[in-house]
């Protein structure tokens, strides 16, 4: 086993109180890691450090043997919030092609090979028939699958998803996680969620974050751990879906 993500004593603040404190985390190649924690616990911030969009104020992040900025090309990312306006005049297929941007020539745009890779990604996430649809006409679940296809089109070694199912219905959520389950043989996956009960049936390991890394487990979470994470007892919701 060799870890492809190593965080050592990572702390971060946006200028105010600390958002992350002394986070140590190693993700092995081939793992499907679920990162859980309450709102505002620093999950998105941690991902942005992994992507090199933010610099830790202390500590180190190493990905694929290099700095996050160096490793970017090998990371596929599905953001929590779509940063784009939904009426932007672009089709689902064009969005997925943007996954090829890092490989595109300065002059002349995408090549046949890029289009083929984008086609595979669209097929794999079952949105090939939506490729000519404007993104504004897609449902929440369809849009998430298009964004997943865009991340897959980058041919990542590490796939990072930030609450990919936060705003879609349970059916579509299951579809997405079934897809991730298929993908995990090919790549390392790190997925953020606040739905511990649901993701624990898919992931190989769970890490709980609340400013610090609170717990770490390969087995199912116990009520005690959840209490530790959220600071108060919560009812554990069991999804009986399969």
Partner 1 sequence: MTAFFHALASQDFLQIAFIGGLLASIACGVMGSYVVVKRMSFLAGGIAHAVLGGMGVAYFFGKSPISGAIAAALVAAWVIGWVSLRWRQTADTIIAALWSVGMAVGVIFISMTPGYNVDLMSYLFGNILMIPRSDLYIMATLDGLIMLAVLVFYQQFMAVCFDEEFARLRGLPVVFFYLLLLTLVALTVVVLIQVVGLILVIALLTLPAAIAAQYLRRLAPIMVLATILGMLFTGGGLALSYTPDLPAGATIILVAGTAYLVSLLVTGFARRRRC
Ligand X SMILES: Nc1ncnc2c1ncn2[C@@H]1O[C@H](COP(=O)(O)OP(=O)(O)O)[C@@H](O)[C@H]1O
List contacts with partner 1 (CB under 8 A). 51, 53, 72-73, 75, 77, 79, 82-85, 87-91, 94-95, 97-99, 101-102, 104, 107-110, 134, 136-137, 150, 154
37 binds ligand X (CB under 6 A): yes
CB of 43 to ligand X, least distance (A): 3
**Considering only 72-80, 123-131, 194-202, 210-218, which stretch makes contact with Mg ion by CB under 5 A?**
72-80
Contact residue for ligand X among 4, 7, 19, 161 (CB under 6 A): 19
Name which of residues 10 to 49 contact Mg ion (CB under 5 A).
44
Helices (H), the chain: 43-50, 68-71, 92-97, 112-124, 140-152, 170-183, 196-199, 223-230
Q: Which of 157, 198, 212 is nearest to 27 (CA)?
A: 157
DSSP string, 38-106: -TTSSHHHHHHHHTTSS--SEEEEEETTB-HHHHGGGEEEE-SS--S-TT-S-BHHHHHHGGGGGGSBT
CB of 126 to ligand X, least distance (A): 28
Residues that bind Mg ion in the complex, under the rule CB under 5 A: 44, 80
């Amino acid at each position: 086993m060799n870890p492809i993500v190593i965080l050592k004593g990572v702390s971060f603040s946006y200028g105010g109180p600390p958002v992350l404190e002394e986070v140590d985390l190693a993700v092995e190649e081939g793992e499907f890691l679920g990162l859980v924690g309450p709102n505002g616990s620093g999950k998105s911030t941690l991902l942005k450090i992994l992507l090199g969009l933010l610099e830790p104020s202390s500590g180190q992040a190493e990905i694929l043997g290099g700095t996050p900025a160096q490793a970017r090309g090998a990371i596929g990312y599905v953001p929590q919030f779509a940063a784009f306006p939904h009426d932007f005049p672009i089709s689902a297929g064009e969005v997925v092609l943007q996954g090829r941007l890092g490989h595109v020539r300065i002059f002349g745009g995408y090549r046949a090979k890029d289009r083929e890779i984008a086609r595979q990604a669209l097929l794999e996430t079952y949105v090939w028939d939506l490729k000519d649809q404007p993104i504004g006409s897609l449902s929440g679940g369809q849009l998430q699958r298009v964004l997943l296809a865009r991340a897959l089109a980058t041919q990542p070694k590490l796939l990072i998803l930030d609450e990919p199912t936060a705003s879609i219905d349970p059916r579509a959520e299951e579809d997405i996680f079934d897809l991730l389950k298929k993908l995990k043989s090919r790549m390392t996956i790190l997925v953020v969620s606040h739905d511990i009960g649901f993701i624990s049936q898919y992931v190989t390991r769970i890490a709980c974050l609340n400013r610090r890394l609170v717990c770490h487990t390969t087995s199912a979470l116990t009520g005690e751990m959840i209490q530790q994470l959220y600071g108060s007892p919560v009812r554990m919701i069991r999804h009986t879906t399969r």
